[in-house]
Structure 1
Amino acid sequence: MAEGWQGEVGLTGAVLAVAMAVRLAVGLHPYSGMGNPPKFGDYEAQRHWMEVTINLPAKEWYVHTERNDLGHWGLDYPPMSAYQSYAHGLLVRAFEPAAVELGTSVGYETESSKDLLRATVLVSDLLIMFPAVFLALRAIYPHAGPRRRAWALAVALLHPGFVLIDHGHFQYNCISLGLVAGAVAAIWRGRDLLGSCLYVLALNHKHMSAYYALAFFAHLLGAALRLPTWRSSATKVSALGAAVVLTFALAWLPFLGDRDLALAVLRRLVPIRRGVFEDYVSNFWCVTHVAIKWKKLLSDQQLAKCCALVTAAACAPSVAHQLLRPSRRGLLLAALNCSLGFYLFSFQVHEKSILLPCLPAALLSLEYPWACLHFAIVSAFSMIPLLQKDGLELACAACVVIFISAASAGGEVLGPRRPGREAAAAASLTAMAALSAVKAFASPPERYPYLFDLLISALAFAHFACYFVYWNVELWARHSGTAATKRD
């Protein structure tokens, strides 16, 4: 038993070392907005939020003042992101004060500040995402064995999207995704209150985590309603509600004393003015806009309502399943289906939003290895227009090759060869590789400058739509009633 534990520690250490090395290597590449004034990009946004939060009181973080120009990357994430920016800003100021000097550091770019900010993402990944995914996989697959769990950990931590967006493009998705993974691990262990609190923290770090909200709500409510008595159900629901409200209150505490300030924060989080989509993204509204000019047919407010209705309908089967037949694996599939439904149909979706369904897919890799591996590659492919804009084409190709190499090492996990499945996967990968090469090396027609972006979005959307149907069918076919609960 001791030898088994030592073996798992060794395998896990090796996976973590490779994951760290890949992140460091990607961090050597360009980032969003590098050398591109006056707005620069996401790197400047994150740096600016550090500048604002460490130099101004909380009451000025989300409002336009002489010292805080919301026109230049105004803070538009929930309070936990602001606190994260504050903590990282203190760290950056300790080593390079000029990088976060109020008012004079706009567009600040040096090699040392780049290294410092890259380090803050790396530390966040190491402290939150890595342990959370490790604990989630141990909870989900307690009898899988060290080698299989190490393979699943490698698949999750070497996921091209997780690496490229945070350590290339420059974001901190590892924090909110790590908190969600921690919530899954807690719920799997029967600690629903802790899981609820962790999920609320994730939601208050990035409000895109709302993609999971219906799945978590339905599962926890469904499980509570299955308790032996109405009294025990009411007690459990009350406890969960209290945990959620208290966690929200603590996260928003600096803003709750002033109603106008709290509303100002909320207004910053709702991007209605930005339209149903901006750049090309692999979802329904963007892909079908070629034939149906949604932006001309409907106002932004009308489109927002339409998106809300269609998204709710897309999530309804998973919500109904978890209310009627809650199970822990069902929660993962419901989270996958709901987050993918939000990506495909909700309002103002970003390319990087595909990372949200990628997390539950990665956690299901030992149950659906081929589907989850292919889904990860498609998700990276869908972000090529964004990554090319950042100068990350080479990094993307390298990350995909490393990911496929790591995945190929799990021969016994992948199971026996199936010619039909492998032929379909080969055709899909060939089409994605060919279109990626065309995007990288060819020039689009002058009349259609975004033709290649549209083709990438359309091909990725077709894959995502198929997976959305597949995983919804899987949820109802394989995780039904008492049998599903026993298998968990």
Structure 2
Amino acid sequence: MDMSAYFAPAFFSHLLGKCLKRSNPLFEVLKLGFVVLGTFSLIWWPYIHSMEALLQVLSRLAPFERGLYEDYVANFWCTTSVVIKWKRLFTTPTLKLLSFGATISTCLPSMIQQIWAPSKRGFLYGLLNSAFSFYLFSFQVHEKSILLPLLPASLLAIEEPVLYNWITLNALFSMFPLLVRDKLVLPYIALLALFSLLNHAAPNQSRGTKETRTLELSLKALVLVCALIFHVVYLTLPAPNRYPFLFEALVMLLCFSQFVSLAFYTNAKQWTLLKRSVLVHKEKKLL
């Protein structure tokens, strides 16, 4: 899947929302459409003269022949495949429709918020939520694709330090089986240790009551202990013969649960921006 697609819904909804807020929305939308179609035509101009070249490019952008998933990636399809054998139960065309529908439907709340009340902060949350939707539900996702939600999360690091730290740690952990296969355990440990040290040295920016912070730290400690145990077990013990990919499945399940929780949080946080914009608008009217 073309990685730019991960952010496309956020760009579309934000720009459309901006156009609709202008004094002449129809004209602004037409201008936006003209620019998008013109840019698209320029990019694809070298290929549209040959159907064979066009199909080759499309096959690279959307490698449907590889199947719904390839390796153990911490998204919905791969995680639930432990119970639901998607590849056996459904044909590839059906899985295309299922993944497309799931991706778009989970993008919609974030897109609606930006069309309704576009803002700079909302756009960053929209980028993150859109990338999460594609990572969790789109067709043929690679382990390294978790870096795409991590990009907008890094732009929100000052406002959301806990979110940034948590997604970074889980993103690293989700790629651990891949890095073991590529014999990159030492760089992985070095980066993880460096990030943890820098994170510990940074000022405490947690918000909320003492009880909330205690609960947050307890949950983080529990997940980190589970991750530490998984690391040790993965590196020292052989997997059972009957379940040769048991350890990969456990890593995948743990990380998937964290990504889903983070996606719910960031979508809810984006919609709180709409409430604030409504309150600000009412205050301006009163003044």
Q: TM-score normalised to the size of structure 2?
A: 0.90
Q: 1:330 to 1:278 in 2, by over 3 A?
A: same
2 CA distance for matches of 1:237 and 1:484?
A: 27
| Correspondent of 2:68 among 272, 276, 284 | 276
1:208-231 deviation line (CA, Å, top 9, x unaligned): 22011111101110111011x22x
Matches within 5 A, 1:164-175: none
Q: Secondary structure at the match of 1:295?
A: helix
1:423 aligns with 2:238: no
| Correspondent of 1:437 among 200, 224, 232 | 232
Matches within 5 A, 1:83-122: none
Matches within 5 A, 1:14-33: none
Matches within 5 A, 1:124-203: none
1:381 aligns with 2:176: no
User: Which residue number in structure 2 is paired with residue 45 of structure 1?
Assistant: none
1:289-345 deviation line (CA, Å, top 9, x unaligned): 111111111011111111111111111111111111211111111111111111111
1 CA distance for matches of 2:127 and 2:55?
A: 29
| Correspondent of 1:343 among 124, 135, 142 | 135
1:355 aligns with 2:147: yes
Letter in 2 for 1:320: I
Kindly, what percent of the aligned residue pairs are identical? 40
Q: CA RMSD in A?
A: 2.0
Matches within 5 A, 1:57-72: none
1:455 aligns with 2:250: yes
Letter in 1 for 2:158: L
User: Which residue number in structure 2 is paired with residue 292 of structure 1?
Assistant: 84
Contact 1:329 1:479 (C-alpha < 8 Å) held by counterparts: no
User: Which residue number in structure 1 is paired with residue 15 of structure 2?
Assistant: 220
| Correspondent of 1:474 among 269, 280, 284 | 269
Q: What are structure 2's unaligned runs of at least 5 residues?
A: 282-287
Contact 1:327 1:484 (C-alpha < 8 Å) held by counterparts: no
User: Which residue number in structure 1 is paired with residue 31 of structure 2?
Assistant: 239
Q: 1:359 to 1:387 in 2, by over 3 A?
A: same
2 CA distance for matches of 1:237 and 1:478?
A: 24
User: Which residue number in structure 2 is paired with residue 154 of structure 1?
Assistant: none
User: Which residue number in structure 2 is paired with residue 257 of structure 1?
Assistant: 49
- The alpha-carbon deviation at position 249 of structure 1 amounts to 2.9
2 CA distance for matches of 1:389 and 1:246?
A: 43
Higher RCO, 1 vs 2 (CA within 8 Å, ≥6 residues apart)? 2
| Correspondent of 1:301 among 66, 69, 93 | 93
- The alpha-carbon deviation at position 253 of structure 1 amounts to 3.1
- The alpha-carbon deviation at position 443 of structure 1 amounts to 0.8
Contact 1:219 1:323 (C-alpha < 8 Å) held by counterparts: yes
2 CA distance for matches of 1:283 and 1:244?
A: 31
Contact 1:272 1:301 (C-alpha < 8 Å) held by counterparts: no
User: Which residue number in structure 2 is paired with residue 365 of structure 1?
Assistant: 157
2 CA distance for matches of 1:428 and 1:298?
A: 34
After TM superposition, where is structure 1 displaced by more than 6 Å over at least 4 residues in a row? none
- The alpha-carbon deviation at position 414 of structure 1 amounts to 4.7
- The alpha-carbon deviation at position 351 of structure 1 amounts to 0.6
Contact 1:327 1:485 (C-alpha < 8 Å) held by counterparts: no
2 CA distance for matches of 1:251 and 1:397?
A: 41
Contact 1:318 1:338 (C-alpha < 8 Å) held by counterparts: yes
Q: 1:314 to 1:270 in 2, by over 3 A?
A: same
Matches within 5 A, 1:3-18: none
User: Which residue number in structure 2 is paired with residue 209 of structure 1?
Assistant: 4
1:321 aligns with 2:113: yes
1 CA distance for matches of 2:126 and 2:223?
A: 26
Matches within 5 A, 1:19-58: none
1 CA distance for matches of 2:279 and 2:147?
A: 27
1:402-426 deviation line (CA, Å, top 9, x unaligned): 1122222320545687222112111
Contact 2:2 2:62 (C-alpha < 8 Å) held by counterparts: no
2 CA distance for matches of 1:325 and 1:424?
A: 34
1 CA distance for matches of 2:257 and 2:59?
A: 34
- The alpha-carbon deviation at position 238 of structure 1 amounts to 2.9
1:351-384 deviation line (CA, Å, top 9, x unaligned): 1111111111111111110121111100110011
User: Which residue number in structure 2 is paired with residue 129 of structure 1?
Assistant: none
Q: 1:460 to 1:412 in 2, by over 3 A?
A: closer
Q: 1:413 to 1:237 in 2, by over 3 A?
A: same
Q: 1:252 to 1:332 in 2, by over 3 A?
A: same
Contact 1:333 1:360 (C-alpha < 8 Å) held by counterparts: yes
Q: What are structure 1's unaligned runs of at least 5 residues?
A: 1-205
2 CA distance for matches of 1:448 and 1:431?
A: 20
2 CA distance for matches of 1:450 and 1:427?
A: 23
Letter in 2 for 1:354: I
